[in-house]
Copies of this chain bind each other. A is one copy, B any other.
């Protein structure tokens, strides 16, 4: 027996990465990525003012970051019309997910999510011994009604819903989300993942921080173009937002991340331009799909799911054939969703490469059948 022993929960965990990154794929395949359109990053980049601010701040990285994320929380609070202690900042939504599972889940507690939804959430739930229960998607949507019903039936401690959804790009208007929130028991924490909210047609229900069981997660990784900086935030009651202070790595958010996020928030005209560019890129991706006889799903996010018109193994072959041409995309893996591939909104150059690569990829996928 190897010594010292891991905890029983850790002993049972694999050394797994929820997502294999494009750099890792490059190292394994030896094929250079020419179009990086698989991780729902924003190829439109951050605001030029953010880049200039980062350059100016580079000599200052010898000091620790502010452990209270004070300036960023204050700016977010002003923008959102809530109090700064109703906001918690951490190393991306992924970091917040690990912390919130730790706050609420003991081994065996039931956590409800959708079959095929964000795998990193599941990774953290498993990491603390939670008992995951899965609700199937309804068509290409997460099913809020069924999620709430499952939460009630199982006496779940936590229920996860992404709106807009990843990996399908679908969206429920604010009124549907409000109905979902009302239908979940107050004993169950609602984790509403709004990573892609900036690109959606409405901004969700009003921010009701009086609701004791609703935590909303947002990020600078998507429309703001700062995925590399790892900065996300949670919005909830003072009790919920403050609870992160019990367990978080207080000096964990990089100083340049704090500075970049603050500068990004301050440049709303750029955000507007980026959202417009993302919408145009979504249309272009839909057109490329149509040109190849495939259907693109409507999307409220910075990516588009494309129905490859056959089964899951066929879609895997399309993805692999795109990868052979240096076009990095990802795909859903759950039954009922797995015949899609998922393309990130990107500048023209990347989508031109997609447009060139997709016909050959489809031919190769067909001929390998």
Q: Taking beta carbons and an 8 Å cutoff, which residues of A are in contact with B? A: 2-8, 10, 13-21, 23-24, 27, 36, 39, 41-46, 51, 54-55, 58-68, 70, 91-92, 94-95, 98, 102-106, 120, 127, 157-158, 186-189, 212-213, 221, 225-230, 239, 242-243, 245-247, 249-257, 260
6 inter-chain pairs at a CB distance below 8 angstroms, sorted by A residue, are A4-B187, A21-B64, A41-B64, A45-B62, A65-B230, A94-B252
Contacting pair A254 B230 (CB below 8 A): yes
Contacting pair A104 B254 (CB below 8 A): no
Bound CA–CA A20/B36 (angstroms) = 41
Say whether, besides A17-B245, A54-B58, A189-B4, A228 and B92 are in contact (CB < 8 Å): no
- List chain B residues, Cβ under 8 A from A102: 7, 10
Distance from A195 Cβ to chain B, minimum over Cβ atoms (Å): 13
Contacting pair B23 A70 (CB below 8 A): yes
Contacting pair A62 B91 (CB below 8 A): no
Contacting pair A51 B46 (CB below 8 A): no
Bound CA–CA A42/B19 (angstroms) = 36
Bound CA–CA A240/B295 (angstroms) = 47
- List chain B residues, Cβ under 8 A from A256: 54, 228-229, 254, 256
Residue of B nearest to A245 (CB): B15
Contacting pair B24 A225 (CB below 8 A): no
Distance from A33 Cβ to chain B, minimum over Cβ atoms (Å): 10
- List chain B residues, Cβ under 8 A from A15: 242-243, 245-246
Most chain B CB inside 10 Å of its own CB: which residue of A5, A64, A242? A64
Say whether, besides A58-B51, A64-B227, A188 and B254 are in contact (CB < 8 Å): no
Bound CA–CA A18/B248 (angstroms) = 11
Give the oligomeric copy count: 2
Contacting pair B157 A4 (CB below 8 A): yes
Say whether, besides A58-B54, A251-B94, A221 and B64 are in contact (CB < 8 Å): yes
- List chain B residues, Cβ under 8 A from A187: 3-5
Contacting pair B212 A3 (CB below 8 A): yes
Given A41-B64, A61-B226, A92-B252, output 5 extra A-B contacts at Cβ < 8 Å. Answer: A7-B105, A15-B243, A17-B250, A120-B250, A230-B251
Bound CA–CA A94/B67 (angstroms) = 12
Closest 3 CB pairs of A and B: A228-B255, A61-B228, A15-B245
Contacting pair A4 B94 (CB below 8 A): no
Distance from A81 Cβ to chain B, minimum over Cβ atoms (Å): 22
Of the candidates B21, B58, B213, the one whose C-beta lies within 8 Å of that of A67 is B21
Distance from A35 Cβ to chain B, minimum over Cβ atoms (Å): 13
Distance from A125 Cβ to chain B, minimum over Cβ atoms (Å): 12
Of the candidates B7, B67, B104, the one whose C-beta lies within 8 Å of that of A17 is B67
Residue of B nearest to A221 (CB): B64
- List chain B residues, Cβ under 8 A from A23: 66-68, 70
Say whether, besides A4-B188, A213-B3, A243-B6, A41 and B63 are in contact (CB < 8 Å): yes
Distance from A328 Cβ to chain B, minimum over Cβ atoms (Å): 11
Distance from A230 Cβ to chain B, minimum over Cβ atoms (Å): 5
Bound CA–CA A91/B127 (angstroms) = 19
Contacting pair B254 A257 (CB below 8 A): yes
Distance from A346 Cβ to chain B, minimum over Cβ atoms (Å): 10
Bound CA–CA A217/B10 (angstroms) = 21
Contacting pair B70 A249 (CB below 8 A): no
- List chain B residues, Cβ under 8 A from A62: 41-46, 225-228
Of the candidates B17, B45, B213, B254, the one whose C-beta lies within 8 Å of that of A229 is B254
Bound CA–CA A44/B104 (angstroms) = 43
